[in-house]
Structure 1
């Protein structure tokens, strides 16, 4: 039995029903493909059971929306409602020429795409237009959308070939305060948004929406301040005022006149090096200094005969003070371990303090990490002319702490012997306990570092919180938020 033909009616216009068009519309709203196909089949089955062969487009949309509401979230339903309905033709330019996928595929094949690749791009372009609720688009905007999708899928070279074909450039450029211009980068903006705590998916989505909003101004070159203002407005609307403030504070942290000094202390194996590098990258601070490097430089100037403590590992410094007869039988008692540890801390203190002061003098922000950065001991105290933010990293669980050493051995090509750390694990835990006590005593934030990603986010949050507190104090907006001296 031949199935009856279904016709979709929109005013005086009539379109042949296509299940494929319905599936594509559902996919554009974020419905998974399998669910979209199942829903389209159910809707088509219902329509074919009706006596009439013609269905009004608004009735079809109501039926699809009602069916969607039973299967997906309200957010997906709302996206489906906002987009241009299936079957409604998309028109290009003032003359209203229909946008045909066949013609778009043909133009994409001219830049080297095979038919399948060109068809995927054409479908993505059409779905993007419908997702924005448009049924008409000018030619430049259509070409710009194609260019962006080509760059995202196949790289910049393919985009440039397409722009040569269309004799247009659709690259948005951003003007820096000094006059230099740089291409707008969704990737860099998304990275900045992830740094303030947004998910990767939301960050990339917002970066794309910012670009679309900037293109809508019809300006080929946009001032950097306008980009930031656009980001802040969108953040406030989509994520809340706190995230907008964090974004602006992050930008200020990267270009502030008053240098920022972030100090990471913590026992060996707490993950200081990796965390310091990542936090420095997110804050836009390229200068990351390890106290191990400073200690090694001092060792080249001061021999082991003159300073055996300086040439010992931090957790073995206590043994440098023992007599030869005591070396075999001595046990790592707490006071003995801490005395050796603090002796090395005091030997490095002048050099570490000088490095920080030199960077402050040059108005250069810096991230420093090392076990010798003890709360209450310079340079962890306030430095005139800079914002100093000390942080102590800890690994509370002993098993997790031991795993850190195994991971570090693999990352450093066994340059740091895991067994040596394991042999002196008792001393390392004594040092960690002491650092946590000093952090509690001096009001320094302690961040649990077992989970690297969470630790990075907590460090960034703490730095931005402190900068916002400082700004509020200077603005006279009331007392600063009380610091949390310990905890995750």
Structure 2
């Protein structure tokens, strides 16, 4: 718990709040999330900490990011802003290089490019003595800086994301893939970048359904996706190879989970919020159950680790960090996992679902964002007049 002596109040430590605060200081989402996670881990077992002690702990972790980041974190939040950014309703918020950089994250630019663009933009505004600026003008200047540094293609990417941001349309990201390919990791990262607050795992949906449907009624539901075939009713005289049985068992489990996935999608549709669903059960057929809504943009993708040795190494690494996720069982059935991934990639290719290879964190995150951008580009032209109006 964090104690505020001035307010005489105790509140829990919230990693998400600290992550946002660090982004405002100029750190990327990945950097902010890592630092906030490290601090959360350090606070495990600590009964209570004052807010001043927490700030000192944060500053200690910011040492490696340089004096400028530290100074931004130290600045009092009530300080009068040098530059006000006003929206269409005339409301003003302080210009922040951190927030400016955050608006570039969906474009998938390199961190150093985003930092440079945000710094150049701030320096130009300061040099020209600008104390107030309208949002459309800020967008226009940002676009000009992007084109100057990174070219027209990067500028177009920025325009598409900004046009989408001005719309009232929502995203539905469907991240499929077997265990160990990074679905939950990248779902969390991309949610932070795109400001999506709803993430749903199909594994969690399966756990709920297991409570509702006992094993005697739905035996395939009570096994891992790659072992569901072993719970299928036996038919006398039936013979099939292991790959065929694995596919049939998996698809039977998918059929059951599709009901829950459809319910989650309908709920998000009703509440008009964006949503990320991640899990092995996101077979391309799930797209048939996406709500029909012109304001909803569904983006399916299949994550994969294309080298067997790399998949094994990732599962081993995950076992060290999260032993409760049963890495030993996954390693024991690595052949089944590999066969299931081969089947999923074949199905993704058949249904035209983009495949994103996870061979490098930065490239994979960029690949996911580019996949989303490609879907946006089918609806948004990136017209400067719309973005800057």
TM category (shorter chain) comes to 0.7 to 0.9
2:82 — aligned with what? 171
Query: What is the CA-CA distance between 1:270 and the residue it aligns to?
Result: 1.2
Q: Match of 1:246?
A: 157
Change (3 A) 1:174 1:472: closer
Counterpart in the other structure of 1:286: 197
Q: Which residue of 2 aligns with 1:372?
A: 281
Pick one of 215, 223, 233 that aligns with 2:144. Answer: 233
Correspondence 1:97-246 to 2 at 5 A? 152-157=69-74, 169=80, 171-246=82-157
Q: Distance in 2 between matches of 1:331 and 1:423?
A: 22
Give the C-alpha shift of residue 405 in structure 1: 0.9
In structure 2, distance between residues paired with 1:278 and 1:160: 28
Normalised to the residue count of structure 2, the TM-score between the two structures is 0.73
* CA distance 1:339–1:313, shift in 2 (3 Å): same
Q: Which of 242, 247, 251 in structure 2 is aligned with 1:338?
A: 247
Q: What RMSD over aligned residues (CA atoms) do the two structures have, in Å?
A: 3.0
Per the alignment, do residues 389 and 404 of structure 1 end up closer, same or farther by CA in structure 2, a change over 3 Å counting?
same
Deviates more, 1:394-403 or 1:235-244: 235-244
Comparing 339-348 with 220-229, greater Cα deviation is found at 220-229
**Residue 396 in structure 1 maps to residue 306 in structure 2:** yes
What is the CA-CA distance between 1:208 and the residue it aligns to? Answer: 1.1
Q: Under a length normalisation based on structure 1, what TM-score does the superposition of the two structures give?
A: 0.59
Q: Give a deviation string over 1:398-432, Cα, whole Å, max 9, x none.
A: 000111111222332x1111110011112211211
Runs (5+) with no aligned partner, structure 1: 1-148, 475-488
2:25 alignment partner in structure 1? none
Deviation at 1:370, TM superposition (A): 0.6
TM-aligned CA distance change 1:368 to 1:177, over 3 Å:
farther
Alpha-carbon deviation of 1:153? 4.9
Aligned positions of 1:12-91 closer than 5 A: none
CA distance in 2, matches of 1:224, 1:409: 47
Cα distance between partner residues in 2 of 1:160 and 1:290 = 39
Residues 1:268 and 1:389: Cα distance change in structure 2 (over 3 Å): same
- 185 and 170 in structure 1: CA distance in 2 versus 1, 3 angstrom threshold: closer
Given that 1:382 and 1:388 are in contact with CA atoms closer than 8 Å, whether structure 2 keeps it comes out as no
Question: Which of 310, 315, 331 pairs up with 1:422?
Answer: 331
Contact 2:84 2:94 in 1 (8 A): yes
Is the 8 Å Cα contact of residues 173 and 298 (structure 2) preserved in structure 1? yes
Structure 1 counterpart of 2:211: 300
Ranked by relative contact order (alpha carbons within 8 Å, sequence separation 6 or more), the top structure is 2
Decide whether aligned partners of structure 1 residues 457 and 171 sit closer, same or farther in structure 2, where only a CA change above 3 A counts. same
Displacement of 1:448: 0.8
The separation in 2 between residues aligned to 1:348 and 1:209, in whole angstroms, is 49
Measured after TM superposition, the shift of residue 223 of structure 1 is 2.3
Cα distance 1:473–1:354, how it changes in 2: closer, same or farther (>3 A)? Answer: farther
Deviations 1:61-106 (A, max 9, x none): xxxxxxxxxxxxxxxxxxxxxxxxxxxxxxxxxxxxxxxxxxxxxx
**1:405 lines up with 2:322 in the alignment:** no
Matching of residue 460 in structure 1 with residue 369 in structure 2:
yes
Pairwise CA distance, 1:279: 1.7
Once the two structures are superposed, what CA deviation does each residue of 1:15-47 show, in whole Å capped at 9, x if it has no partner? xxxxxxxxxxxxxxxxxxxxxxxxxxxxxxxxx
Which residue pairs with 1:444 in the alignment?
353
Deviation by residue 1:268-308 (Cα, 9 ceiling, x = unmatched)? 11111111111222222222211111111222222222212
Q: Is the 8 A contact 1:353 1:378 kept in 2?
A: no
For residues 180 and 241 of structure 2, the distance between their equivalents in structure 1, rounded to whole angstroms, comes to 18
Q: Paired residue for 1:349, among 255, 258, 261?
A: 258
Change (3 A) 1:390 1:150: closer
SS in 1 for 2:302: strand
Equivalent residue in structure 2 for 1:258, among 155, 166, 169: 169
Judge conservation of contact 1:373–1:380 (CA < 8 Å) in 2. no
Q: For the residues of structure 2 that align with 1:331 and 1:400, how far apart are their CA atoms?
A: 30
The secondary structure found in structure 2 opposite 1:295 is: helix
Deviation of 1:433 after TM superposition, in Å, equals: 1.1
1:380 shift after superposition: 7.0
Q: Which structure 2 residue ranges, 5 or more long, are not aligned? A: 1-65, 384-389
After TM superposition, the structure 1 stretch with the greater mean CA deviation from structure 2, 273-282 or 333-342, is: 273-282
CA deviation after TM superposition for structure 1 residue 393, in Å: 0.9
Give the SS at the match of 2:250. Answer: helix
